[in-house]
Every structure is written in C-alpha cells, then in structure tokens.
Amino acid sequence: MTDSLGESAGARPEVAVRDLGGGVRSVAVPIPDNPLGYTLVYVMDTDRGPVLVDTGWDDPGSWDVLAAGLEACGTGVGEVHGVVITHHHPDHHGLSGRVREASGAWVAMHAADAAIVRRARETRPERWFTYMAAKLTAAGAPDEHVAPLRGGPRRSTPPGLAPALPDREILPGELLDLPGRRLRALWTPGHTPGHVCLHLEEEHPARLPGRGRLFSGDHLLPEITPHIGLYEDPDDATVTDPLGDYLDSLERVGRLAPAEVLPAHQHTFTDAPGRVRELLAHHEERLSGLLSLLQQPLTPWQLAVRMEWNRPWEQIPYGSRNIAVSEAEAHLRRLVKLGRAEAVAGSEPVTYVAV
C-alpha cells in the first residue's frame, strides 16, 4: 500500500478523487509503506449526508488525504453521517474512530469482525505474541523465526490492536438505513470472518448491463488475489475453513452479476462473473499444486517455503512470512476437508501428506 500521494512540506496533500456517477465518489487514501499504495474510500451521498464505505489507514498523512478528499467531493469530515466497514483490517477500519469523533457518525460492521475488534482491544499485546509464538512453533517454524516473539523487549503494538468499536451491526441480507439509497449487505466470509460486500441496488448511472454496483472490499479485486488466512480466537479451538468460505462467497457474488465492481484497491471493473471464474480456477490450480508438494510429508512452514509467492521466500519480510504460513494452513485445511490430504499421525510438529 505505499505510493504516498505526493506532498510537500506545509502543502495541502495531493488527492486522487473520482466521480463515479450516481452520487458516488472515491478517494484514494494512502497506506504507509505497503505495495498496495492506497485504499479506495467511497463517499456515497444520502439524504442525511455522506456515508463512507471504509475509511483508510490510521496515519496522519492518510487522515489529511481523506479530509482533503472529502472537501474535493464538496463536503467535509464533520458532515459524515455514517461509516460502513467492509472488514476490520486497519487499511479499511483504521480511521473510523477519528471520523466518528469529528462528525458523530455511526460505524457499522458485521458481528464476526466486530468480535475480532473487541478481542483485539481487550487482549494485551503480550498475549498475542505468546499465541503467535505457539502457533508458529506448532506449524514447524524454526526457532530463529519464533525467538523474537518470546520474551525480551516487545516491539510497538501492531496496527489493528486498538481499533474503534463499531456501534451498529451489519446484518446479512439487510438493506442498510441510508435514506434515499438502496444498499444491501452481502456476507462474504473468507478474507475475514465478517467481510461484507455491499450491493447498491440502483440502476447503473451509465446504464451498464447488470444488477447495480457492488462495493467489494477485498473480496473481489481486479488483478490480485486477497489473502486467505486463519482468524482464530486464542481461547477457541474451533477448526475453521476460511478458504472454503471464500470460494462459496465468490460463487454467490458471481451469480449476483453486478454491472460494475467498486473494489477497495486498484480500480473499478466490470464482468464480475468472469473475474470470479478466474479466481476459482486460480485456487483450484493452487490446491492441485500443493498436492504435488505434499507427495512428501510437510509442516505448514515447510509448505509455505515451497509455495509460489510474488517474490522468493528469502525476500519476504518477517511479518509477511507469518501471513504466508497462515495462508498455507488455510489451504491445508481445505485439502483435509476435501479428503485430498491428511495429517500424519504422531508427527511433531504435525506434517501433512496428500492422499
């Protein structure tokens, strides 16, 4: 997400605002030090004032861009009526609390992600580091990777551990309370347990064929595949299947066939069913490739090291390696659930093999 929209000392931030028609605009809010560059925050006119879909990363520069972007849209932060969050990640939910403080706006989120927000706020960072160390050890991570999580001086609190609590719940299938608009929530778990897409059930302003427009968050992106990892409660042993959830959600979005997709990153696009087919094929190909790797027993860490990423494993930074292992585990769970792989009895740390 780094592509800091150029800014000189003391100058107003440069903003990228697009008028998408039909009372919808987008503001590209930068994400510091991340290759995605920015989050597309959508500004939707309603009869009670603008409503935002996501808010961007909690950073002073990002806040300045969001505020300037709203001014470019002919409004201001203080005028915001409500905030609808597609999912809890800090590049989407980070500035929600600050928007609410400035405007009195309500903040809405699906209950499953609201539970993660609540847990993050109530759990001390040391508990998270201990949990992560145990999870990585069980996944077969080497001692030198796990060591920084054990004892010694702690790094600063990771982003997302003090997010704003939402004050409204998004219910799947409901029309949100947006006077003058028809925005329906679609529960699309996978990228996070409570990820939602938002279907604007209004004729496309350019009369493109299809069923309205879809704010897709990170669920459906035009050129990249969202991360599918594990989101588990340290105190809950439930075995989830996030990749299975994601694939099921993709198929539902494909059947919806919106005229245009408004994602949280990159750019708007059409032909949602075509993009869904590409992603389903991608994941089937990836699962087949992992089965080839699993001709020999591998731990989740060993599998992650051998998987194809956007760069060689040696160039993947520390935090991203943890995300990669989580994604490898999500794929393993899917293969086990499908009966295509199984855990090797008695292995420690546990290894998996194709069947």
Asked whether 102 and 162 are in contact (CB, 8 A), the reply is: no
pLDDT digits over 149-202, tens only?
886 445 555 555 578 999 999 999 999 999 999 999 999 999 999 999 999 999
On the question of pLDDT at 143 being above 50, the answer is yes
Distance CA 46, CA 180 (A): 6
Q: 163 vs 154, 160, 228, CA distance in Å?
A: 20, 6, 21
Express the helix, strand and coil content of the chain in percent, nearest 5 each: 35, 15, 45
Average pLDDT over every residue of 312-323? 93
CA-wise closest residue to 242 among 94, 65, 61, 116: 116
Q: How far apart are CA 13 and CA 56, in angstroms?
A: 15
Measured distance CA(50)–CA(303) in Å, rounded: 46
Give the total residue count for the chain.
355
- State mean pLDDT over 4-28: 72
In this structure, are strands 17-21 and 24-30 parallel, antiparallel, or unpaired? antiparallel
The total of other beta-carbon atoms located within 10 Å of residue 68's CB is 20
* Cβ 301 vs Cβ 136: under 8 Å: yes
pLDDT (tens digit, 9 = 90+) per residue, 224-267?
999 999 887 777 778 899 999 999 999 999 999 999 999 999 99
What's the pLDDT at 234?
A: 74
Q: Tens digits of per-residue pLDDT, 48-107?
A: 999 999 999 999 999 999 999 999 999 999 999 999 999 999 999 999 999 999 999 999
The confidence score (pLDDT) of residue 12 equals 56
Helices vs. strands in the chain: H and E counts, helices first = 10, 13
CA distance 136 to 158: 17
pLDDT cut 70: percent of the chain above it: 93
Q: Is the pLDDT of residue 308 over 80?
A: yes
- Predicted local confidence at residue 153, as pLDDT: 45
pLDDT of 214 over the 80 cut? yes
Q: What is the pLDDT of residue 149?
A: 87
pLDDT on residue 120: 85
Following DSSP, what letter does each residue of 267-306 receive, concatenated? --BS-HHHHHHHHHHHHHHHHHHHHHHTTS-B-HHHHHHH
End-to-end CA, the chain: 39
Please tell me the pTM assigned to this model.
0.92
Question: Is residue 7 scored above 50 in pLDDT?
Answer: no
Phi, psi of 292 (to 5 degrees): -65, -40
Residue 291 has pLDDT above 80, yes or no: yes
